[in-house]
Amino acid sequence: MKARVTVTLKTGVLDPQGKAIEGALGGLGFSGVLGARQGKIIDLDLAETDRAKAEADIRAMCEKLLANTVIENYSVEIKG
Amino acid sequence: MKARVTVTLKTGVLDPQGKAIEGALGGLGFSGVLGARQGKIIDLDLAETDRAKAEADIRAMCEKLLANTVIENYSVEIKG
């Protein structure tokens, strides 16, 4: 079963990488960029075939390893 | 107008960060992980209000800065 985990910084958390992207886009002549925030995705391939069990497993992975829940939000999308 | 750009490594391109995640998950006792690939997202906030124009702008940004099209694929999702 395939799934995608999306990890984004919480609102209010400073994002220097996003700021760098915003600045670089401005420097390249893209003037209408009001903001940029960077996050990450992790595409997982799991042996588990039960959808609910897979989602529960992935949430546990996020809490333990994939996301820092103090400063990051995560969402899980099961692709089947 | 808000948009999300998703950048992923092309199939066949080595992904050491994904391999590290896979190994770390195994080490934490998550045994059913067959594979992990890491990618990134960039959430953009644009002044442009025309959907088609915004998408064209973002594709240009991807080609010039956000993605390395030799080794990465990108997709653009306009959120309105």
Which of chain A's residues have a Cβ under 8 Å away from the Cβ of B25?
61, 65
Phi first, then psi, for residue A50 (nearest 5°) are -85, 125
Nearest C-alpha neighbor of A7 from the set B23, B17, B45: B17
Which CATH architecture describes the domain A2-78? Answer: 2-Layer Sandwich (3.30)
Which of B30, B37, B47 minimises the CB distance to A32?
B47
C-beta of residue A5 within 8 angstroms of C-beta of residue A69: no
**In this complex, do A42 and B8 lie within 8 Å of one another by their Cβ atoms?**
no
For a pLDDT cut of 70, what percent of chain A falls above it? 100
Q: Is the pLDDT of residue A80 over 80?
A: no
**In this complex, do A28 and B65 lie within 8 Å of one another by their Cβ atoms?**
yes
Q: Which residue of A has its CA nearest to B6?
A: A41
Give CA–CA dist B59/B19, Å, rounded: 29
pLDDT of amino acid B3: 97
Q: Which residue(s) pair with B74 in the sheet?
A: B7
Domain boundaries, chain A: 2-78
pLDDT tens per residue, range A8-32? 999 999 999 999 999 999 999 999 9
